[in-house]
Amino acid sequence: MHRFANPNRFLRIAALILPWSAAITVTLLVVGLYLALKVSPADYQQGESVRIMYVHVPAAWMALFVYSCLAGASAIALIWKHPLANLAAKASAPIGACFTFIALTTGAIWGKPIWDAWWVWDARLTSVLILFFFYMGHMALTSAFEDASRGERAAAILALVGFINIPVIKWSVDWWNTLHQPASIVRLDGPAIHASMLAPLLIMAASFATYYVSVLILRLRSEILARKMDALRLTRVRDSQEAHSL
């Protein structure tokens, strides 16, 4: 893992990955949207409104996945002091917050014709809203201190505390009586969703995942370059002060 601690090595690897991840994202997104909007059938109960699923469900999956990555990066930063781990967590937080916001918004739009309400205090809805607040709290703490290391440490601790919410979101439909249906894809007896709907759903999920990789690389590259610029500026200020003292 520490092989990638060198920012220059990471930037070289990222430069190789980014074009491929971006191309794959565009390809999967185009194919997924075509299958979701044109090929997949309408639901016999929900009608055309079921197509919101192809954005809502992958966004919800990514909200949980990105937070898991953020918490993992935070643990690595706290335990092993990996120099890029805090940057990865900082870069992931806005992306995950956007996925969570999309999941909440599309869920409200989907819930209106199905539940006849934009919002209900359902266990899963409430726990996802709490997840959004954890994302926002992480971003706020990261920039709350003049000493960046203090903000990163506080944000990392918050991320680890917030990870408790991930299994709550996942299993909320089994632990409590909620309006959300139980798992219909990852089941011991196989997916309960038809292949004509499952294929575009998984393709859209894959496009969201590669999008996360692409944007994460871009944000990490920006953070690394910003740190280098700050270090160079501080070096010049120090050299100038030393020159004046002489």
- CA distance to 23, 211, 220, 223, per residue, from 214 (Å): 10, 5, 10, 14
CATH of the domain at 159: 1.20.120
State the residue for tokens 């910003």.
226
Tally the domains of the chain. Answer: 1
Residue 2 is assigned to a structural domain of this protein: no
Residue 241 is assigned to a structural domain of this protein: yes
pLDDT at 117: 87
Report the alpha-carbon distance of residue 40 to residue 37 in Å, rounded.
7
Residue 174 is assigned to a structural domain of this protein: yes
- Interval 56-77: pLDDT, tens: 999 999 999 999 999 999 999 9
Report the alpha-carbon distance of residue 122 to residue 23 in Å, rounded.
38
Residue 231 is assigned to a structural domain of this protein: yes
pLDDT band at 6 (very low <50, low <70, confident <90, very high): confident
Q: 124: how many CB neighbours lie within 10 A of its CB?
A: 19
Burial 209-237 (b: 16+ CB within 10 A, else e): bbbbbbbbbebbbebbeeeeeeeeeeeee
pLDDT band at 45 (very low <50, low <70, confident <90, very high): confident
Specify the DSSP class assigned to residue 192.
S
Q: 47 — alpha (psi -120 to 50), left (phi > 0) or beta?
A: left
Residue 47 is assigned to a structural domain of this protein: yes
- Interval 164-197: pLDDT, tens: 999 999 888 777 666 666 656 655 445 658 788 9
Residue 59 is assigned to a structural domain of this protein: yes
Residue 234 is assigned to a structural domain of this protein: yes
Residue 26 is assigned to a structural domain of this protein: yes
Report the alpha-carbon distance of residue 90 to residue 92 in Å, rounded.
6
> Residue 54's domain spans which residues?
19-181+193-245
